Structure 1
Amino acid sequence: MDLDIIRHEIDQVDDQIVHLLEKRMHLVEGVVAVKKASGKQILDTKREELIFERVRNKVEDNRYQEPIVAIFSDILKRSRAYQDKHIT
Structure 2
Amino acid sequence: MEISDWRQKIDELDEQIVRLINQRAEAAKAIGRLKQESSLPVYEPKREQVVFEHVRRSNPGPLSDNEVVDIFERIIDVMRALQKNPD
TM-score strictly above 0.5: yes
**Counterpart position of 1:75:** 75
Instruction: Give 1:62 deviation, angstroms.
Output: 5.8
Unaligned runs of 5+ in 1: none
RMSD: 1.4
Residues 20-71 of structure 1, C-alpha deviations (whole Å, 9 max, x = no match):
1111111112111111101100111111000000000111126432222111
User: For 1:1-80, what aligned pairs fall within 5 Å after superposition?
Assistant: 1-61=1-61, 63-80=63-80
Measured in 1, the distance between the counterparts of 2:20 and 2:79 equals 14
Measured in 2, the distance between the counterparts of 1:8 and 1:62 equals 20
The percent identity for this pair of structures is: 30
Unaligned runs of 5+ in 2: none
Measured in 2, the distance between the counterparts of 1:62 and 1:14 equals 17
Give the paired residue count: 86
**CA 64–4 in structure 1, closer or farther in 2 if over 3 Å, else same:** farther
Measured in 2, the distance between the counterparts of 1:73 and 1:55 equals 11
Q: Which has the higher contact order (CA 8 A, sep 6+)?
A: 2
Question: TM-score, normalised to structure 1's length?
Answer: 0.89
Question: TM-score, normalised to structure 2's length?
Answer: 0.90
Instruction: Give 1:83 deviation, angstroms.
Output: 1.7
